[in-house]
Protein backbone atom coordinates (compact mmCIF):
# COMPACT_ATOMS: atom_id res chain seq x y z
CA UNK A 1 0.00 0.00 0.00
CA UNK A 2 1.01 3.61 -0.50
CA UNK A 3 2.49 5.14 2.65
CA UNK A 4 3.70 8.70 2.17
CA UNK A 5 5.58 8.65 5.45
CA UNK A 6 7.82 5.87 4.15
CA UNK A 7 8.80 7.95 1.12
CA UNK A 8 9.79 11.20 2.83
CA UNK A 9 13.50 11.66 3.52
CA UNK A 10 14.24 11.33 7.23
CA UNK A 11 15.87 14.77 7.43
CA UNK A 12 12.83 16.33 5.76
CA UNK A 13 10.53 14.75 8.34
CA UNK A 14 12.50 16.57 11.04
CA UNK A 15 12.93 19.78 9.05
CA UNK A 16 11.73 23.01 10.61
CA UNK A 17 11.12 25.24 7.59
CA UNK A 18 12.38 28.79 7.46
CA UNK A 19 9.78 31.07 8.99
CA UNK A 20 9.65 34.34 7.09
CA UNK A 21 8.25 37.57 8.44
CA UNK A 22 5.21 37.25 6.18
CA UNK A 23 4.61 33.68 7.35
CA UNK A 24 4.40 34.79 10.97
CA UNK A 25 2.12 37.77 10.38
CA UNK A 26 -1.63 37.23 10.18
CA UNK A 27 -4.28 39.91 9.87
CA UNK A 28 -4.30 43.53 8.69
CA UNK A 29 -1.66 46.20 9.33
CA UNK A 30 -0.56 49.54 7.90
CA UNK A 31 3.00 49.75 9.21
CA UNK A 32 5.41 46.93 8.40
CA UNK A 33 8.64 46.96 10.41
CA UNK A 34 9.19 43.21 10.54
CA UNK A 35 11.15 42.14 7.44
CA UNK A 36 14.05 44.62 7.15
CA UNK A 37 12.67 45.99 3.86
CA UNK A 38 13.37 49.45 2.50
CA UNK A 39 10.50 51.46 3.98
CA UNK A 40 10.96 54.29 1.45
CA UNK A 41 9.89 52.21 -1.53
CA UNK A 42 11.79 51.47 -4.74
CA UNK A 43 12.50 53.09 -8.13
CA UNK A 44 9.63 50.96 -9.44
CA UNK A 45 6.19 50.50 -7.95
CA UNK A 46 6.26 51.35 -4.27
CA UNK A 47 5.04 47.92 -3.13
CA UNK A 48 7.98 46.18 -4.82
CA UNK A 49 9.98 47.10 -1.73
CA UNK A 50 7.92 44.49 0.18
CA UNK A 51 8.52 40.76 0.07
CA UNK A 52 5.84 38.83 -1.83
CA UNK A 53 3.33 36.40 -0.38
CA UNK A 54 5.43 33.26 0.29
CA UNK A 55 2.46 30.97 -0.45
CA UNK A 56 1.10 32.96 -3.43
CA UNK A 57 -2.48 32.69 -2.15
CA UNK A 58 -4.06 35.11 -4.66
CA UNK A 59 -2.48 33.26 -7.59
CA UNK A 60 -3.58 29.91 -6.19
CA UNK A 61 -7.15 31.19 -5.76
CA UNK A 62 -7.23 32.10 -9.46
CA UNK A 63 -5.72 28.77 -10.50
CA UNK A 64 -8.19 26.99 -8.23
CA UNK A 65 -11.09 28.67 -10.02
CA UNK A 66 -9.69 27.80 -13.47
CA UNK A 67 -8.75 24.20 -12.65
CA UNK A 68 -11.59 23.33 -10.27
CA UNK A 69 -9.14 22.17 -7.61
CA UNK A 70 -8.69 23.37 -4.01
CA UNK A 71 -5.91 25.90 -3.46
CA UNK A 72 -4.45 23.56 -0.83
CA UNK A 73 -3.68 21.06 -3.62
CA UNK A 74 -1.52 23.57 -5.53
CA UNK A 75 2.22 24.21 -5.26
CA UNK A 76 3.83 27.00 -7.29
CA UNK A 77 7.45 26.84 -8.37
CA UNK A 78 9.87 29.10 -10.17
CA UNK A 79 9.04 27.20 -13.34
CA UNK A 80 8.21 23.50 -13.38
CA UNK A 81 11.95 22.90 -13.01
CA UNK A 82 11.78 24.07 -9.40
CA UNK A 83 8.81 21.78 -8.77
CA UNK A 84 10.90 18.87 -10.09
CA UNK A 85 13.89 19.79 -7.93
CA UNK A 86 11.75 20.20 -4.80
CA UNK A 87 10.28 16.72 -5.34
CA UNK A 88 13.78 15.26 -5.43
CA UNK A 89 14.70 17.06 -2.22
CA UNK A 90 11.53 15.90 -0.47
CA UNK A 91 11.60 12.22 -1.35
CA UNK A 92 15.02 11.06 -2.56
CA UNK A 93 18.00 10.44 -0.27
CA UNK A 94 21.25 11.28 -2.11
CA UNK A 95 23.44 8.31 -2.88
CA UNK A 96 20.72 5.86 -1.80
CA UNK A 97 17.50 6.25 -3.79
CA UNK A 98 16.74 6.13 -7.49
CA UNK A 99 14.08 7.35 -9.91
CA UNK A 100 12.84 6.09 -13.27
CA UNK A 101 12.50 8.11 -16.46
CA UNK A 102 11.24 6.94 -19.85
CA UNK A 103 13.38 8.48 -22.63
CA UNK A 104 13.14 10.19 -24.94
CA UNK A 105 11.67 12.69 -22.51
CA UNK A 106 12.20 16.09 -20.88
CA UNK A 107 15.86 16.47 -19.93
CA UNK A 108 15.45 18.24 -16.57
CA UNK A 109 14.43 15.04 -14.78
CA UNK A 110 17.92 13.68 -15.43
CA UNK A 111 19.63 16.99 -14.65
CA UNK A 112 17.81 17.28 -11.30
CA UNK A 113 18.65 13.67 -10.46
CA UNK A 114 22.33 14.34 -11.14
CA UNK A 115 22.34 17.58 -9.14
CA UNK A 116 20.76 15.79 -6.17
CA UNK A 117 23.02 12.71 -6.48
CA UNK A 118 20.10 10.40 -7.22
CA UNK A 119 20.60 7.33 -9.42
CA UNK A 120 18.61 7.43 -12.64
CA UNK A 121 17.13 4.34 -14.26
CA UNK A 122 16.19 4.89 -17.90
CA UNK A 123 13.50 2.66 -19.40
CA UNK A 124 13.12 3.54 -23.06
CA UNK A 125 9.74 4.08 -24.63
CA UNK A 126 8.60 1.60 -27.25
CA UNK A 127 9.09 2.33 -30.97
CA UNK A 128 5.70 4.08 -31.02
CA UNK A 129 6.69 6.22 -28.00
CA UNK A 130 4.51 4.40 -25.44
CA UNK A 131 5.37 2.95 -22.03
CA UNK A 132 7.14 -0.39 -21.80
CA UNK A 133 5.27 -1.61 -18.71
CA UNK A 134 7.15 -4.92 -18.21
CA UNK A 135 10.51 -3.10 -18.42
CA UNK A 136 9.35 -0.42 -15.97
CA UNK A 137 8.16 -3.09 -13.54
CA UNK A 138 11.52 -4.86 -13.79
CA UNK A 139 13.40 -1.62 -13.10
CA UNK A 140 11.55 -0.84 -9.85
CA UNK A 141 13.31 -1.79 -6.63
CA UNK A 142 12.93 -0.94 -2.93
CA UNK A 143 14.74 2.38 -3.39
CA UNK A 144 12.78 3.60 -6.43
CA UNK A 145 11.09 6.70 -5.02
CA UNK A 146 9.65 8.35 -8.15
CA UNK A 147 8.67 7.64 -11.73
CA UNK A 148 8.56 10.59 -14.16
CA UNK A 149 6.11 10.45 -17.07
CA UNK A 150 5.65 13.29 -19.57
CA UNK A 151 2.30 13.39 -21.39
CA UNK A 152 2.06 14.89 -23.97
CA UNK A 153 5.69 13.91 -24.17
CA UNK A 154 8.60 16.19 -25.00
CA UNK A 155 10.22 15.80 -27.57
CA UNK A 156 7.90 13.28 -29.24
CA UNK A 157 4.62 15.22 -28.90
CA UNK A 158 2.34 12.23 -28.29
CA UNK A 159 0.18 11.50 -25.25
CA UNK A 160 0.84 8.36 -23.25
CA UNK A 161 -1.82 5.67 -23.15
CA UNK A 162 -4.07 6.45 -20.18
CA UNK A 163 -4.58 2.79 -19.27
CA UNK A 164 -0.80 2.28 -19.11
CA UNK A 165 -0.35 5.28 -16.83
CA UNK A 166 -3.17 4.07 -14.60
CA UNK A 167 -1.53 0.63 -14.42
CA UNK A 168 1.56 2.27 -12.92
CA UNK A 169 -0.50 4.38 -10.52
CA UNK A 170 -2.38 1.30 -9.32
CA UNK A 171 0.61 -0.99 -8.92
CA UNK A 172 3.54 1.20 -7.87
CA UNK A 173 3.58 2.73 -4.42
CA UNK A 174 6.14 5.47 -4.86
CA UNK A 175 5.50 8.95 -6.26
CA UNK A 176 4.26 9.08 -9.87
CA UNK A 177 4.95 12.46 -11.48
CA UNK A 178 2.97 13.20 -14.65
CA UNK A 179 4.30 16.25 -16.45
CA UNK A 180 1.44 17.87 -18.38
CA UNK A 181 3.21 20.98 -19.63
CA UNK A 182 1.46 20.60 -23.02
CA UNK A 183 -1.92 19.26 -21.86
CA UNK A 184 -3.81 22.34 -23.10
CA UNK A 185 -3.03 21.41 -26.70
CA UNK A 186 -4.31 17.84 -26.29
CA UNK A 187 -7.77 16.29 -26.35
CA UNK A 188 -6.70 13.88 -23.63
CA UNK A 189 -8.05 14.63 -20.17
CA UNK A 190 -5.75 15.84 -17.43
CA UNK A 191 -4.79 13.54 -14.58
CA UNK A 192 -5.61 16.39 -12.18
CA UNK A 193 -9.15 14.99 -12.37
CA UNK A 194 -7.91 11.83 -10.61
CA UNK A 195 -5.95 13.31 -7.72
CA UNK A 196 -8.53 12.00 -5.23
CA UNK A 197 -8.09 8.46 -6.60
CA UNK A 198 -4.31 8.33 -6.38
CA UNK A 199 -2.56 9.62 -3.23
CA UNK A 200 0.82 8.96 -4.90
CA UNK A 201 0.09 11.21 -7.91
CA UNK A 202 1.76 14.56 -8.63
CA UNK A 203 0.72 16.43 -11.79
CA UNK A 204 2.93 19.18 -13.19
CA UNK A 205 1.60 21.96 -15.39
CA UNK A 206 2.88 25.40 -16.34
CA UNK A 207 1.88 28.90 -17.38
CA UNK A 208 4.77 28.93 -19.89
CA UNK A 209 3.14 27.16 -22.84
CA UNK A 210 -0.58 27.64 -23.57
CA UNK A 211 -0.76 30.67 -21.27
CA UNK A 212 2.20 32.32 -23.03
CA UNK A 213 3.96 33.36 -19.81
CA UNK A 214 7.33 31.67 -20.22
CA UNK A 215 9.19 34.78 -19.03
CA UNK A 216 7.37 34.79 -15.67
CA UNK A 217 8.60 31.30 -14.66
CA UNK A 218 5.47 29.99 -12.94
CA UNK A 219 5.19 26.22 -12.72
CA UNK A 220 2.42 24.33 -10.97
CA UNK A 221 2.32 21.04 -9.09
CA UNK A 222 -1.02 19.50 -8.13
CA UNK A 223 -1.15 16.76 -5.49
CA UNK A 224 -2.71 15.75 -2.20
CA UNK A 225 -2.64 18.25 0.65
CA UNK A 226 -0.05 16.07 2.42
CA UNK A 227 2.39 16.12 -0.51
CA UNK A 228 1.89 19.86 -1.07
CA UNK A 229 2.58 20.53 2.62
CA UNK A 230 5.91 18.70 2.39
CA UNK A 231 6.88 20.61 -0.76
CA UNK A 232 6.05 23.91 0.97
CA UNK A 233 8.42 22.99 3.81
CA UNK A 234 11.31 22.55 1.40
CA UNK A 235 10.90 25.43 -1.07
CA UNK A 236 12.66 28.79 -0.63
CA UNK A 237 10.41 31.24 1.24
CA UNK A 238 9.90 33.77 -1.58
CA UNK A 239 10.31 31.66 -4.72
CA UNK A 240 7.75 33.53 -6.88
CA UNK A 241 8.36 37.27 -7.24
CA UNK A 242 5.73 39.92 -6.59
CA UNK A 243 5.80 41.00 -10.24
CA UNK A 244 5.27 37.43 -11.43
CA UNK A 245 2.40 36.94 -8.99
CA UNK A 246 0.66 40.13 -10.08
CA UNK A 247 0.97 39.35 -13.78
CA UNK A 248 -0.11 35.74 -13.29
CA UNK A 249 -3.29 36.87 -11.51
CA UNK A 250 -3.99 39.30 -14.34
CA UNK A 251 -3.44 36.65 -17.01
CA UNK A 252 -5.59 34.05 -15.25
CA UNK A 253 -8.58 36.35 -15.79
CA UNK A 254 -8.23 35.83 -19.57
CA UNK A 255 -9.28 32.20 -20.00
CA UNK A 256 -11.22 33.02 -23.17
CA UNK A 257 -8.25 34.67 -24.83
CA UNK A 258 -6.02 31.71 -23.95
CA UNK A 259 -8.56 29.24 -25.36
CA UNK A 260 -8.67 31.26 -28.58
CA UNK A 261 -4.87 31.13 -28.86
CA UNK A 262 -4.91 27.37 -28.28
CA UNK A 263 -7.42 26.90 -31.11
CA UNK A 264 -5.26 28.91 -33.51
CA UNK A 265 -2.11 27.05 -32.50
CA UNK A 266 -3.78 23.67 -33.04
CA UNK A 267 -5.04 24.83 -36.45
CA UNK A 268 -1.55 26.01 -37.36
CA UNK A 269 -0.12 22.70 -36.14
CA UNK A 270 -2.30 20.84 -38.64
CA UNK A 271 -1.54 23.33 -41.42
CA UNK A 272 2.19 23.01 -40.83
CA UNK A 273 1.97 19.22 -40.74
CA UNK A 274 0.28 19.13 -44.15
CA UNK A 275 2.72 21.66 -45.62
CA UNK A 276 5.79 19.78 -44.36
CA UNK A 277 4.47 16.48 -45.72
CA UNK A 278 4.67 17.98 -49.21
CA UNK A 279 8.42 18.56 -48.91
CA UNK A 280 11.02 16.09 -50.18
CA UNK A 281 13.11 16.54 -47.01
CA UNK A 282 10.30 15.17 -44.82
CA UNK A 283 10.35 11.44 -44.16
CA UNK A 284 7.81 11.21 -41.34
CA UNK A 285 5.88 13.44 -38.94
CA UNK A 286 4.94 11.90 -35.63
CA UNK A 287 1.46 12.48 -34.12
CA UNK A 288 1.44 15.49 -31.80
CA UNK A 289 -0.81 16.63 -28.96
CA UNK A 290 1.54 19.52 -28.19
CA UNK A 291 2.47 22.88 -29.69
CA UNK A 292 5.29 21.34 -31.69
CA UNK A 293 5.97 18.63 -34.27
CA UNK A 294 8.69 15.99 -34.26
CA UNK A 295 9.74 15.64 -37.88
CA UNK A 296 12.03 12.92 -39.27
CA UNK A 297 14.03 14.41 -42.12
CA UNK A 298 16.53 13.33 -44.74
CA UNK A 299 19.42 15.45 -43.43
CA UNK A 300 18.55 16.80 -39.98
CA UNK A 301 21.82 18.51 -39.08
CA UNK A 302 22.29 20.05 -42.51
CA UNK A 303 18.71 21.38 -42.49
CA UNK A 304 19.20 22.77 -38.99
CA UNK A 305 22.35 24.65 -40.02
CA UNK A 306 20.78 25.83 -43.29
CA UNK A 307 17.82 27.32 -41.42
CA UNK A 308 20.11 28.95 -38.86
CA UNK A 309 21.72 30.78 -41.75
CA UNK A 310 18.28 32.17 -42.59
CA UNK A 311 17.59 33.24 -39.00
CA UNK A 312 15.21 30.35 -38.24
CA UNK A 313 15.97 28.30 -35.12
CA UNK A 314 14.64 24.76 -34.63
CA UNK A 315 15.68 22.08 -32.13
CA UNK A 316 17.91 19.31 -33.46
CA UNK A 317 16.88 16.08 -31.71
CA UNK A 318 18.67 13.78 -34.17
CA UNK A 319 21.08 12.43 -31.51
CA UNK A 320 18.31 11.69 -29.01
CA UNK A 321 17.26 8.09 -28.31
CA UNK A 322 14.61 6.91 -30.83
CA UNK A 323 14.71 10.29 -32.60
CA UNK A 324 17.31 9.63 -35.29
CA UNK A 325 17.18 12.28 -38.01
CA UNK A 326 14.51 14.29 -36.19
CA UNK A 327 13.95 18.01 -35.79
CA UNK A 328 11.53 19.40 -33.24
CA UNK A 329 9.59 22.34 -34.67
CA UNK A 330 7.60 24.68 -32.44
CA UNK A 331 4.36 25.90 -34.00
CA UNK A 332 4.87 29.54 -34.85
CA UNK A 333 2.52 32.23 -36.05
CA UNK A 334 0.95 31.81 -39.48
CA UNK A 335 3.59 34.11 -40.96
CA UNK A 336 6.47 32.29 -39.23
CA UNK A 337 5.20 28.89 -40.36
CA UNK A 338 4.94 30.05 -43.96
CA UNK A 339 8.45 31.50 -43.85
CA UNK A 340 9.74 28.16 -42.51
CA UNK A 341 8.08 26.17 -45.29
CA UNK A 342 9.31 28.58 -47.95
CA UNK A 343 12.86 28.31 -46.61
CA UNK A 344 12.71 24.52 -46.59
CA UNK A 345 11.51 24.50 -50.19
CA UNK A 346 14.86 26.04 -51.09
CA UNK A 347 16.98 23.48 -49.24
CA UNK A 348 19.23 21.20 -51.27
CA UNK A 349 22.28 19.11 -50.59
- DSSP secondary structure letters along 97-137: -EEEE-SSS-THHHHHHHHTT-EEEE----TTS---HHHHH
Task: Give me the CATH number covering residue 274.
Answer: 3.90.1150.10
| Number of folded domains that form the chain | 2
Nearest Cα neighbor of 182 from 293, 294, 290, 63 is 290
Q: Is a pLDDT exceeding 80 seen at residue 263? A: yes
- CA 44 from centroid of its chain's CA atoms: 31
The DSSP bridge pattern shows strands 218-222 and 74-78 to be antiparallel
**Final residue in a domain of this structure, among 233, 253, 273:** 253
Clarify whether residues 309 and 219 are in a common domain: no
Clarify whether residues 245 and 310 are in a common domain: no
Confidence of residue 163 (pLDDT cuts 50, 70, 90): very high
Confidence of residue 25 (pLDDT cuts 50, 70, 90): confident
Cβ burial of 11 (10 Å; 0-12, 13-18, 19+) is exposed
Q: Is a pLDDT exceeding 80 seen at residue 3? A: yes
Question: What pLDDT digit, counting tens, does each position of 294-322 carry?
Answer: 999 999 999 999 999 999 999 999 999 99
**Final residue in a domain of this structure, among 228, 253, 278:** 253
Q: Is residue 34 assigned to a domain? A: no
Clarify whether residues 295 and 231 are in a common domain: no
Packed helices 80-91 and 108-115: angle between N→C axes, nearest 10 degrees: 40
What is the separation, in whole angstroms, between the first and last Cα of the chain?
58
Question: What pLDDT digit, counting tens, does each position of 81-137 carry?
Answer: 999 999 999 999 999 999 999 999 999 999 999 999 999 999 999 999 999 999 999
Clarify whether residues 163 and 148 are in a common domain: yes
Clarify whether residues 152 and 266 are in a common domain: no
Task: Give me the CATH number covering residue 86.
Answer: 3.40.640.10
**Final residue in a domain of this structure, among 218, 253, 288:** 253
Model pLDDT, residue 129: 98
pTM passes above 0.85: yes
Which domain covers residue 287, as residue numbers?
A: 256-345
Amino acid sequence: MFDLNNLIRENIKQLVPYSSARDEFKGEASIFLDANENSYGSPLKKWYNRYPDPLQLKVKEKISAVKGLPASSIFLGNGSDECIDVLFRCFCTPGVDNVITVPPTYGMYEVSANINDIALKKVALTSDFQLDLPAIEAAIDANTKMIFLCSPNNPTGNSLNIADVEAILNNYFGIVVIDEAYINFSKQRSFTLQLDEYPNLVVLQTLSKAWGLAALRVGMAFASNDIISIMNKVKPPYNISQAAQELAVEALEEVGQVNDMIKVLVQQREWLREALLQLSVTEHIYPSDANFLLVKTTHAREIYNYLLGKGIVLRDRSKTLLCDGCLRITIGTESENKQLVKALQGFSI
